[in-house]
Amino acid sequence: MEAIDRIAPTRRPTDARPVQRQNWRELLFLHWRVPASVLQELVPPELTVDTFEGHAYVGLVPFTMTGVRPVWAPAVPGLSAFHETNVRTYVHRGGKQPGVWFFSLDAASSLAVVLARTRWSLPYHRAHMSLAHEADGTIAYVTERRWPRPLPGMCRVRYRPVGTARPAEPGTLEHFLVERYVLHARDRRGRLRVGRVHHRPYPLQPAQVLELEESLLAAAGLRRGESPPLAHYAAGVDVEVFGLTQRPRADSRGPRSSAL
C-alpha cells in the first residue's frame, strides 16, 4: 500500500459547507501504546487501526468547548460552553482518510449529549466536570460520568503545560496523534459515516502530568499499561465542523493493512 496521505485531511474542505462553529480550549492529549490487535477488535471491521512506526495508540483528551453554535446563529450563554472528554483511537479505511474513532465522549451538557447521540450517533455521556487553574500554572480537570452506562467513568488529572508552543511537524509522532481532522462513526442503521473539521494547526507543547486517576478507558473496554502517558497541551483552536456523510462503498475494497 502507498503511504497514507496525512496532509490532505488538514486542508479545509472545498466541496462542503460547515454546519457548526466551535472553539476548543485547554486541550490535554494523553496517549498510551495499546496493541493494534486489541484495538482492531473494538472498531468496525471496515476500518483499520492506524499505526505510527508499527505502534497503535489510545488517547484520552479532556478539554473545554466554547462558542458552540450553528453557523447561522450566535453563541447562547449557558448552552454554548461546556467541558468535554473523549476516549479515542486512530483509524483509516483502505489507506484513505486517516481519522478518529471515538470509544466514548463525556460532556457537561445534557443538550449536547442528547443531540450528539440522536443526530450524530456518537457515544456521548452526561458527566459532571470542572476545570480549575492553580497559582503555579497547574490545571486541574475532573470528570465524573452520570449517564448512560457504562459506569463508573471518571478522570481526575492535574497537569502543567511546559515548553514552547509550536505546530507539530508532519511526519512526527506528535503530528500523527493530534492533527486529526476526520471522524468515523456508525449511524443507527449500521452505516459508516465520515465527518470533517477544520482548524489551524494546534499550538502544541509538552505537558507534565502531576496526578492522574481515570477509569474511562476501562469503561470503554480498554486496558492500558502502567507506563506514564505521552502528554501534550494546546491552548486552543477555532473550529469549523462539517456534517456527517455516508462513506463511499468503493472505499471498502481497499486493503486493510497499516501503511506507516
User: How does pLDDT run across 67-86, given as a tens digit for each residue?
Assistant: 999 999 888 877 899 999 99
Residues paired with residue 116 on neighbouring β-strands, in sequence order: none
Looking at residue 246, its pLDDT comes to 74
| Structural domain contains residue 260 | no
| Structural domain contains residue 258 | no
Cα torsion at 164, 174, 201, 184 (round to 10°)? -150
Looking at residue 77, its pLDDT comes to 75
Looking at residue 78, its pLDDT comes to 74
| Structural domain contains residue 2 | no
Using one digit for the tens of pLDDT, what is the confidence trace for 142-155? 999 999 999 999 99
| Structural domain contains residue 215 | yes
Q: State the residue range of the domain holding 81.
A: 8-253
| Structural domain contains residue 229 | yes
- Single-letter residue type at 213: E
Low-confidence ranges of the chain (pLDDT < 70): 1-2, 247-260
Whichever domain contains 63, its CATH number is: 2.40.400.10
251 phi and psi angles, rounded to 5 deg = -60, -30
Residue whose C-alpha is closest to residue 56's, from 40, 31, 34: 34
Grid coordinates given for 95: 489507506
Dist. CA 31–CA 213, nearest whole Å: 14
Looking at residue 10, its pLDDT comes to 96
| Structural domain contains residue 259 | no
Looking at residue 74, its pLDDT comes to 85
| Structural domain contains residue 237 | yes
Total number of domains in the chain: 1
| Structural domain contains residue 3 | no
